[in-house]
Amino acid sequence: MKNQNFYCSKCQQNVRGNEYYHQGGICNKCRSRISKEKVDNYTGIQLAEYLLHKSCIRALERVKRKWYKTYQGVKCQWKKPVEMKKDLMNNKLFWEAWIKQSNVYENNERKLSIRPSLDRIESNVGNEGHYYMENMQVLSFGDNSIKASAIKCKVFFIKNMRIVRVTDFDAIQDVMKEFKVIGYNTKQINRDTGEIQYIGDGYSVLIQSIDGELNQKDNDKPRYRGVYQRQKFMVDLDTGEEFLIGVWQDIFESDGIWFNESQVSKP
């Protein structure tokens, strides 16, 4: 099917099966162009409703798809985007704020940074930071992005398998800027995953949000294995001499690493 050619009724070109939209009888490029032209003609309430529907779809995708690490543990009050959109539109304060931001977006060349977006007021999963009606507000895409990167965090810097520094930062981007990591504003660095992440220049980091908690995942296999050694001594009370009489190794496995405040000390 993929190697078979199909005729597009719009551009009148033959395309391969994986480039063809069978239901409409047109190629994928023509389908995308027609869809964009249709959206470009949306204005006012129609545009606002379309944007909200797309945002609801993306919100549910983030919650359901396991590869969105920063959304692990986040729950959603709704099962379907249509139901989510309907309830948000029926929320008078929310819908008025969404229309207002949509009008700003429409009247300013539809720039992405001004597009209305769904924001979780409390984003920390440990503090009920889910997609619930009472925890949602409207922000421009630009303001939402700034907020997402401005959560205070504690960063453990690791080099040569050792923690060499523990520092608090106001945002993950500040970490990347300090170490002059190329592409710091686009590179995905995740917090609260318990994952050691390489950032370049021989450094790796483990990042925890302040007052956060480890986002547990349902993995078939653990990510890390820890080994620590215990020793047992007998002490001669007269001489103070110590005699090693036993050595044990304890092994544990974990999907992520997390340090409590009592465990954190400056290296």
Q: What pLDDT does residue 54 have?
A: 95
CA distance 192 to 215: 6
Contact in structure between 25 and 31 (CB atoms under 8 Å) = no
Q: What pLDDT does residue 122 have?
A: 87
39-48, 66-75, 116-125: the lowest-pLDDT one: 66-75
- Mean pLDDT highest for which of 126-135, 163-172, 188-197? 126-135
Q: What pLDDT does residue 255 have?
A: 81
Query: What would the 3-class secondary structure string for the chain be?
Result: CCCCEEECCCCCCEEEHHHEECCCCEEHHHHHHHHHHHHHCCCHHHHHHHHHHHHHHHHHHHHHCCCCHHHCCCCECCCCHHHHHHHHHHCHHHHHHHHHHHHHHHCCCCCHHHCEEEEECCCCHHHCCCECHHHEEEEEHHHHHHHHHCCCEEEEEEECCEEEEEEEECCHHHHHHHCCCCCCCCCCCCCCCCCCEEEECCEEEEEEECCCCCCCCCCCCCCEEEEEEEEEEEECCCCCCEEEEEEEEEEEEECCCCCCHHHCCCC
Q: What pLDDT does residue 229 have?
A: 86
pLDDT at 76 over 60: yes
Structure tokens given for 157: 């810097």
113-155 pLDDT per residue, tens? 999 999 998 887 878 889 999 999 999 998 888 777 677 888 8
Q: What pLDDT does residue 182 have?
A: 47
Q: What pLDDT does residue 176 have?
A: 65
